[in-house]
Copies of this chain bind each other. A is one copy, B any other.
Amino acid sequence: MSITVVGSVAYDSIETPSGRRDRCLGGAAAHFSLAASFFTDVRVIAVVGEDFGTEQEAVFRARNIDISGIERAAGKSFFWEGSYLDDLNEAKTRNTELNVFASFSPKIPDSYRDSQFLFLANIDPVLQRRVREQMPDVKLVAGDTMNYWIKDHRPALLEVLKGLDILLINDTEAKMLAGNNNLVMAARAVMAMGPRFLVVKHGEYGATLFHSNMRQGQGAELRVPAMPLESVVDPTGAGDSFAGGFFGYLASAPELTPEAFRRAMFYGSVMGSFAVERFGTERMQALTREEIDERFKIFRELTHLAS
């Protein structure tokens, strides 16, 4: 079933120990939709400026991603500049220009309205909520957010959380949102705010799936490590690619069983592991479904006992 995603489509300038790229395609909705497109049909809602070119559009088209919901506005596209020179696990933001996103009011094309899966990528919770309200009948809604919205836009974020089935955030964000430094207790507190499922991403250490109906003594539903990689070129978009693999797999699953959620975690980790191998969206652009299946197999061997 198809996914509609709302979020940023942007230009990123990135510096890492492996080198730098200027104004490459980026943004949460771009990374998410590319990863999810290996599993199901994806439709994007975003806004770009007059500087957004046919070259960038071609990246989406090559993966059959529907971009009829990407609005073109007067002005410049969202721009982010950051570096990972000291620590590959933490981006240092040098510059953020909201540009056309500052006055964005998301509109959902009629052709998107039969999407059964909705992903609210990390943007202003006011915009997330507006999209959610326009698609009240979807089967499953997942979303992401970040420390900025948790800290300074909490009331708006809490409204969004009420309408989510699944929230995907990282350790720091989960603990900040809950005001609790123990991950399991923080997870319970976050799920009490709305989402039935919580995926906490641990960066290079994988991710944990929590469910509001947790069994006593289990702590979580599933914990999946990340692939150990010999070369990490650029971590930008790893979390969004995890989300794309996770939610893309769920949308492609015949039924939303607990086992489907578990497999989705492994696909999320696999897609995150590809994303960091090259700059920006470069690895996703070159990726094949065969490579995904091969790495899923290796990842399973890396984490599972034989008997």
A residues lining the B interface (CB < 8 Å)? 88, 181-185, 202, 204-206, 208, 217-232, 259, 262-263, 266, 298, 300-307
Contacts and interface: CB of A to CB of B under 8 A. Distances in A.
Nearest to A232: B182
Contacts of A88: 181
Given A205-B202, A217-B298, A305 B230 contact: no
Residue among A88, A266, A301 with max Cβ neighbours from chain B (10 Å) = A301
A303 B222 contact: yes
B302 A220 contact: yes
Q: Specify how many copies of this chain sit in the oligomer.
A: 2
Nearest to A87: B181
A304 B304 contact: yes
Contacts of A218: 298, 301-302
Nearest to A306: B259
A225 B204 CA distance: 12
A46 to B, nearest CB: 33
Contacts of A224: 225, 303
Given A184-B230, A232-B182, A262 B300 contact: no
A230 B225 contact: no
Nearest to A203: B205
A303 B185 CA distance: 20
Nearest to A294: B217
Given A182-B230, A224-B303, 19 more contacts: A88-B181, A183-B228, A184-B228, A184-B229, A202-B205, A205-B205, A205-B225, A208-B228, A218-B302, A219-B227, A223-B225, A223-B228, A224-B225, A259-B306, A259-B307, A262-B306, A300-B305, A303-B303, A304-B304
